[in-house]
Amino acid sequence: MRIISGIHKGRRLNPPANLSVRPTTDMAREALFSILYTTYEFADLRVLDLFCGTGALSFEFISRGSEDVTAIDSNIRCIEFIKKTATDWKVEGLHAFKADVFKFLQNQSRPWDIIFADPPYLMKESLLLPAMVRENKLLAPGGRLIIEHPSEIHFSDQEGFIEKRSYSRVQFSFFTFEEKPADATSAKEDLPL
């Protein structure tokens, strides 16, 4: 796995061989960041990387200038690898924590600009993620939830779904939970005469 762009471009992540993870492919990561590049200034983003595994996505955001990236995984060996790599690369702004993702989301109140989730591919509980993010108001205005998943899992009928992009066996579903603006006519009626 290599970092595709930014100040760490070309650097390789070398996780232990027995680390049980399924990293997002370089091709899919490159496509995802091409999509995000058209909408966001990376330096301004607060990013939450759920089921972070090796942290490849977190390091990609850091490499592109994001200064506030939080990585969550329940596997302590993943977290130790991310912390060691961050130290070796002299990376600041990347915070890695061992936690159950679902419990973590239930106890959060700060919003993020980008929430990326890459749960184990056949984890049925992944279908709960959009509602948890929406109900806990974890996306900042203009923010996006992005879930990586296999073609066997479908999110298109869930509230906030925008689109799905496919890259070989990798699928990304995008969500936003914007507040609906007040009806302009009713707002005018409330004004004093």
Q: Summarize pLDDT for 87-110 with one digit per residue, the tens.
A: 999 999 999 999 999 999 999 989
179, pLDDT greater than 80: no
Q: What CA–CA distance (Å, rounded) separates 171 from 79?
A: 25
Segment holding 26, helix H or strand E: helix 26-37
Residue-range domains of the chain with CATH: 24-33+41-96 (3.40.50.150), 124-153+160-176 (no CATH)
What does the alpha-carbon distance between residue 138 and residue 113 come to, in Å, rounded to a whole number?
9
| 191 pLDDT higher than 60 | no
Cα separation of 178 and 176, whole Å? 6
* pTM score: 0.89
Residue 182 confidence (pLDDT) above 80: no
- C-alpha R_g of the chain: 18
Query: What percentage of the chain carries pLDDT values higher than 90?
Result: 73
> Which has more confidence, 51 or 179?
51
Question: What is the mean pLDDT of the segment spanning 148-158?
Answer: 91
Secondary structure element (H or E) that encloses residue 186, with its range: helix 184-189
pLDDT interval class at 17 (50, 70, 90): confident
